[in-house]
């Protein structure tokens, strides 16, 4: 009976450690994602402000259209790049957050 209690306590301790590792991984992953998003938002704000200043200073309609076209092209390219980067961050977060559970699941899964 005592052996079963000790095994149960050991299993509980291992599961708690696994959960804490997973929580730490997820927490760090979300922090990286939030930082990346904040940097992207700041960069977009600065780019938009600079573009507005150029538009206000444009001396002709042709120059204003050129400034706006350059802005749209740059914004689109930046968005696509950032979307790809964010997708990779989310994928890495999912993979890394599963790793601590993987070992625990291997113990629980029935042998084939």
What pLDDT, on the 0 to 100 scale, is given for residue 110? 59
- pLDDT tens per residue across span 20-79: 888 898 999 999 999 999 999 999 999 999 999 999 999 999 999 999 999 999 999 999
HSE-CB at 54 with a 13 A cutoff on CA atoms is 16
Q: How confident is the model at residue 98 (pLDDT cuts 50, 70, 90)?
A: confident
Contact 85, 112 (CB under 8 A): no
User: Hey, how many other C-beta atoms are within 10 angstroms of the C-beta on 97?
Assistant: 19
User: Hey, how many other C-beta atoms are within 10 angstroms of the C-beta on 67?
Assistant: 19
What pLDDT, on the 0 to 100 scale, is given for residue 109? 61
How much is the pTM? 0.75
What pLDDT, on the 0 to 100 scale, is given for residue 108? 66
């Amino acid at each position: 009976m005592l052996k079963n209690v000790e095994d149960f306590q050991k299993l509980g301790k291992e599961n708690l450690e696994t959960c804490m590792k997973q929580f730490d991984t997820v927490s760090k992953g979300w922090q990286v994602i939030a930082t990346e998003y904040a940097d992207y938002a700041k960069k977009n704000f600065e780019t938009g402000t600079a573009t507005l200043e150029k538009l206000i200073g444009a001396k002709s309609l042709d120059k204003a259209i050129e400034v706006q076209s350059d802005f749209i092209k740059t914004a689109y390219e930046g968005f696509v790049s950032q979307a790809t980067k964010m997708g990779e961050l989310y994928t890495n977060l999912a993979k890394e957050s599963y790793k601590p559970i993987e070992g625990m699941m291997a113990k629980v899964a029935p042998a084939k």
